Amino acid sequence: MRMLTPRQRIILRQIVSPPYIYRWAGLLTTVGLIVGVATVVLADVGAPTVLATSQGPAVASSATGIRARTVEDAPARGLPGVARPAITASRLAVTSTTTERPTVALTFDDGPNSLYTPQVLDLLAQYRAPATFCMVGDQVAVHPDLVHRVVDEGHRLCDHTMTHDATVGYNDVDLMGRQLAFSRTSLAGVFAPPAPVDYFRAPEGAWTPALDEVSARSGMRPLGWSVDTLDWTQPGVAAIVASVQQQVHPGAIILFHDGGGPREQTVEAVRQLLPWLQEQGYTFTLPN
């Protein structure tokens, strides 16, 4: 080994045996790094657990064993402190009609309702406008007469879950399948023989890829929309009318609500919109 100069020897000694201040700095840096790495690793491990508990709805045991207790069991929307699932777009949903003529498809969700559904049906009859009704099973059970009227007057049925379960898409696939089968059967079973229920609409549009596939596998096409009137927020008749007038386009599927809360504004908006749409040259149709 080559001989070191005195200066090099001093530097080497400082490296091998550094002053205390540097030893402490090195020790603290090492501890800091370990704590940082541990925090990141533990956060990653913990994340899925938190996600699962926040998104998985508690399943309430019932006679059928397939109804999940959800935020929608509460009558009002937007309850404070209730976590909402992220609203995602369906990959498969029908969101427009496809015809040569300028057509528009009207859809009504969250009924049937004893007060508003008959008023909507009267208006639709007046304009010979077929519509799709996305019904909630619990309301179907209370108003089977209205379900009959909807079908008798040439409208279409659409499954909207038993309890307006906006978290259905996050359930285990088997449970999801049983939930959809139950709500569809409940709706179809109002008739003998059962009526066709070929469409499913996710409450609040909260689609997941699994829900897309399960509804298709259940024989129901996912039904979306292209014009959201936001009528359920009760923004005023003028705002509901304007939302349609501004957004409507040939092939549009328009989302209204005939149940789930006060719907006077919706009824009045539909009363104004049906003649307006006709004047614009639109004919009313059902989604493909």
Nearest to 96 by CA among 281, 250, 256, 244: 250
Nearer to Zn ion, 109 or 258 (CB): 109
d(CA 262, CA 277): 24
- Binding region for Zn ion (CB under 5 A) out of 4-12, 86-94, 203-211, 218-226: 203-211
Q: From the CB of 110, what's the least distance to Zn ion, in Å? A: 4
Q: Specify whether 109 is catalytic.
A: yes
Total residues at interface with Zn ion (CB under 5 A): 3
Q: Residue 217 is encoded by which pair of tokens?
A: 């596998």
CB under 8 Å to 164, separation ≥6 — which residues? 70, 72, 110, 136, 203, 260
Choosing from 70, 85, 109, 139, the residue that interacts with Zn ion (CB under 5 A) is: 109
- Binding region for Zn ion (CB under 5 A) out of 2-10, 36-44, 101-109, 233-241: 101-109
Phi, psi of 170 (to 5 degrees): -100, 0
Nearer to Zn ion, 135 or 244 (CB): 135
Q: Specify whether 148 is catalytic.
A: no
Choosing from 137, 169, 203, 251, the residue that interacts with Zn ion (CB under 5 A) is: 203
Amino acid at 131: A
Residue nearest to Zn ion (CB): 109
Nearer to Zn ion, 94 or 103 (CB): 94
Q: What is the largest distance, in Å, between two alpha-carbon atoms of the chain? A: 108
Catalytic residue among 143, 155, 164, 257: 257
- Binding region for Zn ion (CB under 5 A) out of 62-70, 91-99, 107-115, 125-133: 107-115
- Binding region for Zn ion (CB under 5 A) out of 123-131, 196-204, 219-227, 238-246: 196-204
Nearer to Zn ion, 207 or 282 (CB): 207
Q: Does 159 bind Zn ion (CB under 5 A)?
A: no
Residue 153 to residues 12, 91, 115, 126, 196: CA-CA distances in angstroms?
96, 31, 18, 11, 15
Residue 60, number of CB atoms within 10 A of its CB: 11
d(CA 238, CA 59): 41
DSSP 82-144: ---PPP---SS-B-B---SS-EEEEEEES---TTHHHHHHHHHHHTT--EEEEE-HHHHHH-H
Residue 233, number of CB atoms within 10 A of its CB: 14
Catalytic residue among 109, 159, 212, 231: 109
- Binding region for Zn ion (CB under 5 A) out of 19-27, 102-110, 172-180, 189-197: 102-110
Q: From the CB of 56, what's the least distance to Zn ion, in Å? A: 21
Nearer to Zn ion, 97 or 161 (CB): 161
CA-based torsion, 148, 159, 165, 234: positive or negative = negative
Q: From the CB of 99, what's the least distance to Zn ion, in Å? A: 26
Choosing from 110, 159, 165, 258, the residue that interacts with Zn ion (CB under 5 A) is: 110
Nearer to Zn ion, 182 or 200 (CB): 200
Catalytic residues: 109, 257
Residues within the interface to Zn ion (CB under 5 A): 109-110, 203
